[in-house]
A and B are shown apart, each in its own frame.
Chain A
Amino acid sequence: MKYELKSIFKNKVTWIFIFILIILCLKTVLFLEVNNFNNENAKDLAYQAAMQEATIGLEKRGFYSQKHSANETKWFENMLAFDNWKVDTYRYISKCYKKNKKSVEKEEFIFNLQTYICVFNLNADPEKGHKAASVVFDKMLDQNESILKLKELPFNYEELVGNPYASEDDKAALYKSSKYSIEYNCTLLKNYGGPININPLWFLSNQLSFDQLPTVLIGVLIILFATSVMVESKKNRSIQLVELVPGKRVHIFTHYYLSIWISSIVIIGIGFGIPLLILGLRHGIHGWNLPILVDPNGFLGLKPYVHTSDWGITGIGKAYGGRKIEGYDSIPPSTLVFWPVWKFMITAFIVSFLKIVFLNLVGCGIGLLAKRYRTALLISVCFAGIYGISQYVPANLKWNPFSIQSGWDTALGGTHVTWLNAVILLVVSIVIVSIAIIRWNNKRDY
């Protein structure tokens, strides 16, 4: 394989593809370096403050329009103080983001943990076994008293227990979801002292998930690259050397496919490796063991839903813990477990790996089987186009292997097919396309 790869990597066409991929990836690096998201965070928090204020208004009108007992009034006014504290803190942190205050992320992290503890208490029901935070998280609260300063808050967080106004089901669900959020953030606090920098994973998640264009372009590049290598070998007739090697005809296909596939991996490695190195050198490498909440059933089921909690991110991959599991009914809280990020990445990588295998097969097959160079390139462009379109309109194309999104998105959940769906679909497609290529190759005249 050494000489075949040498031949591929000495070809100008290969370096054009590498160059395009590096530009795509460096564009993302530049975006991450230039945008610190502080302004967006500031706006988001200001919005939350406004929403919370509106909620307070509704709660007050609702409560004071009826008569209540002294205990109920006491509870309500304590809860109002909690809500007002949230409004003030949102606004404070929003200003800190606008001023680019260095400690803002740590402050927001502490605020979020305090909020989760309060929400936990708000939905606790000791009579039903849902005990308060001071019981469930007693050790953690003791150890971190000086950080959390719960007793210095302008309300009594322990007296939030016993919410009489929420339904039993809602309380149970919010109790569980906030429990996970507290556990998650406590892990961060314990292991990292607060929010952590998940650099350069943030680059990867941005490249392969948030910004869809690079993901789509990478797939397009793989198809076109595979075809162009085959076309080059036919143009310079070096393919004849392979055709005359003693062996079965299938050897010709496997020989080229393997060298093209390895080359693709190397190209992607170079294209991604350079930005990862830059970010790693500039900001360090962290976050591989970051806990991420996962519903493992989501990987192996056939009904797609968001089954992982993505982390909240600002700046160059700084994480301050998982977001609250909003819309908890999409993830059964009882089935959530903590996974380290590296484990999640392996599941994502499996899908990415299969996608690369499949797209290379398509490109290689086109180049091998098309008789004319222009026909091969034209068909390759068509398939690249099909892939691109399928990526943007996947919902209606459940059985189309080109529509499978990035490994990262598929592992996160919420794409049109589950992880298991994606793996099965890709494996079946790989088998079918391989058989078709081999059979056609065996029948044709070279």
Chain B
Amino acid sequence: MSVLSITGLNKQIGNHRILKNIEFDVKEQEIVGFLGPNGSGKSTTIKCICGLYHMTSGKILINGADVTTKRKEALSALGASIESPSLYPQLTGRDHLKLMGRWRKVSRERVKEMEEYTGLGVHLDKLTNGYSMGMKMRLMLAMTLLAKPKLIILDEPTNGLDPQAVFELREQMEAIRREGSSILFSSHQLGEVEKLADRVVILDQGEKVYDGIIPTHLMRGLEYHLQVSDVQRAIEQLSGEVGKEIRVLEKGDGWIALTIESKEQFNQMISSLQSNQISVYDIIKCEANLEDFYKTIYERSGSNDKE
């Protein structure tokens, strides 16, 4: 069952279409990465999900409740932190948790539990205007989890965090998923998304351009960089025999790159070069990653635009 279901989401302001028919969902206990360059419509989509923006058309269901017609039920199943942490600078961390506990109608025991969860210790009784970004993030996360929401939305949660805080956040997100919540989070830290997300949804210019797992191994296969004695002859020899997309690398000094499907093809490639007196001076195996995948998506998206 989907915790979040978005169908036909359109947002238009004047003549400018900001979101164009966005559709995706988030399943139970799923972590979905929400990617896209600046201005792609991620924040607008998130704000539509949270009921902060009106949709021009479309439907958003959170735990089965329509955000437009059953706002209270929908937001009851949602916990969100949008952009930077939103806190009252003149209140303490403890005040925030008690306040949120009152608004969300949770028990005092739960509030105390979340006070422990923050790990802020004595800092809980200090004003939040003196908190570091990491401390604010921890407090926001605790406030978001207070009512045990089914869906948690985190917009750029790693912004301003040091590596240790990022690591802790990642662990916390995994723990949240284990406890039964789903997470939709946006980030420009592709490495973090790659480590955490089960799936990614990618937007570009208001449109969804990808929704699925991160198929880096499918997309790129096994890529190798070879330094050979004769680039031109090596390309002629290998084209058609092994691999796809053989290209000359800009490194210079006889480097080429090619993708092969399997280890058998690797042997075939080496044998082919040697039998034609083409020396292989160096071989580097390249792991494909989300960044490459991301670039590929945008290259495709750009090509589609030109067409």
Residues of chain A at the chain B interface (Cβ within 8 Å)? 3-4, 6-7, 10-11, 236-241, 243-249, 443, 445-446
Whether A246 contacts B52 in the complex (CB less than 8 A), given A236-B88, A238-B87, comes out as: no
Contact with B47, one of A238, A249, A446 (Cβ below 8 angstroms): A446
Task: List residues of chain A with CB within 8 A of the CB of B90.
Answer: 6-7, 10-11
* CB pair A3 B99 closer than 8 Å: yes
Task: List residues of chain A with CB within 8 A of the CB of B84.
Answer: 237
Known: A240-B82, A246-B104, A445-B53; 8 extra A-B contacts, CB below 8 A, are: A236-B88, A237-B83, A238-B87, A243-B50, A245-B103, A246-B72, A247-B72, A446-B47
* CB pair A236 B47 closer than 8 Å: no
Task: List residues of chain A with CB within 8 A of the CB of B276.
Answer: none
Q: Which 10 pairs across A and B sit closest by C-beta, in order of nearness?
A: A10-B90, A240-B86, A246-B75, A446-B52, A237-B86, A246-B76, A3-B99, A445-B53, A7-B88, A238-B88
Most chain B Cβ neighbours within 10 Å, of A4, A6, A11, A248 = A6
Q: How far is the CA of A94 from the CA of B300 in the complex (A)?
A: 100
Task: List residues of chain A with CB within 8 A of the CB of B72.
Answer: 246-248
Task: List residues of chain A with CB within 8 A of the CB of B100.
Answer: 241
* CB pair A236 B87 closer than 8 Å: yes
Whether A247 contacts B71 in the complex (CB less than 8 A), given A3-B91, A3-B99, comes out as: yes
Whether A445 contacts B80 in the complex (CB less than 8 A), given A7-B91, A236-B87, A247-B71, comes out as: no
Task: List residues of chain B with CB within 8 A of the CB of A248.
Answer: 71-72
Residue of B nearest to A446 (CB): B52
Most chain A Cβ neighbours within 10 Å, of B50, B74, B90, B103 = B90
At the interface, yes or no: B215 with Cβ under 8 Å from chain A? no
Task: List residues of chain B with CB within 8 A of the CB of A11.
Answer: 90
Task: List residues of chain A with CB within 8 A of the CB of B103.
Answer: 245
* CB pair A6 B104 closer than 8 Å: no
Interface size class of B (residues with CB under 8 A): 20 to 34
* Least CB distance, A369 to chain B, in whole angstroms: 15
Within 8 A of A (CB), among B100-116: 100, 102-104
Most chain A Cβ neighbours within 10 Å, of B54, B73, B102, B103 = B103
* CB pair A244 B95 closer than 8 Å: no
Residue of A nearest to B11 (CB): A445
Which DSSP category, helix, strand, loop or mixed, fits chain A's interface?
A: loop
Task: List residues of chain A with CB within 8 A of the CB of B102.
Answer: 3
* Least CB distance, B3 to chain A, in whole angstroms: 16
Within 8 A of A (CB), among B35-79: 47, 50, 52-54, 71-76, 78
Show 20 A/B contacts (Cβ-Cβ < 8 Å), sorted by A.
Answer: A3-B88, A3-B102, A6-B91, A11-B90, A237-B84, A237-B87, A238-B88, A239-B86, A240-B82, A241-B87, A244-B52, A244-B80, A246-B73, A246-B76, A247-B75, A248-B71, A445-B52, A445-B53, A446-B47, A446-B53
| Chain B window 144-156, contacts with chain A (Cβ cutoff 8 Å), 1 for yes, 0 for no | 0000000000000
* CB pair B54 A445 closer than 8 Å: yes
* Least CB distance, A395 to chain B, in whole angstroms: 44
Task: List residues of chain A with CB within 8 A of the CB of B83.
Answer: 237
* Least CB distance, B230 to chain A, in whole angstroms: 62
* Least CB distance, B15 to chain A, in whole angstroms: 17
Contact with B71, one of A3, A7, A240, A249 (Cβ below 8 angstroms): A249
Contact with B95, one of A6, A239, A246 (Cβ below 8 angstroms): A6
Q: How far is the CA of A10 from the CA of B95 in the complex (A)?
A: 13
At the interface, yes or no: B98 with Cβ under 8 Å from chain A? yes
At the interface, yes or no: B89 with Cβ under 8 Å from chain A? yes
* Least CB distance, A415 to chain B, in whole angstroms: 40
Q: How far is the CA of A245 from the CA of B75 in the complex (A)?
A: 7
Task: List residues of chain B with CB within 8 A of the CB of A446.
Answer: 47, 52-53
Q: How far is the CA of A38 from the CA of B288 in the complex (A)?
A: 96
Task: List residues of chain B with CB within 8 A of the CB of A247.
Answer: 71-72, 75
Most chain B Cβ neighbours within 10 Å, of A240, A241, A244 = A244
* Least CB distance, A11 to chain B, in whole angstroms: 6
Task: List residues of chain A with CB within 8 A of the CB of B76.
Answer: 246
Contact with B89, one of A236, A239, A244, A445 (Cβ below 8 angstroms): A236
Whether A241 contacts B71 in the complex (CB less than 8 A), given A3-B98, A443-B54, comes out as: no
Q: How far is the CA of A82 from the CA of B59 in the complex (A)?
A: 92
Most chain B Cβ neighbours within 10 Å, of A241, A246, A446 = A246
Q: How far is the CA of A58 from the CA of B47 in the complex (A)?
A: 86
Q: How far is the CA of A164 from the CA of B104 in the complex (A)?
A: 84
Most chain B Cβ neighbours within 10 Å, of A4, A11, A241 = A241
Task: List residues of chain B with CB within 8 A of the CB of A241.
Answer: 86-88, 99-100, 143
Q: How far is the CA of A3 from the CA of B53 in the complex (A)?
A: 27
Whether A244 contacts B99 in the complex (CB less than 8 A), given A7-B90, A238-B88, A445-B54, comes out as: no
Task: List residues of chain B with CB within 8 A of the CB of A3.
Answer: 88, 91, 95, 98-99, 102
Task: List residues of chain B with CB within 8 A of the CB of A249.
Answer: 71
* Least CB distance, B85 to chain A, in whole angstroms: 8
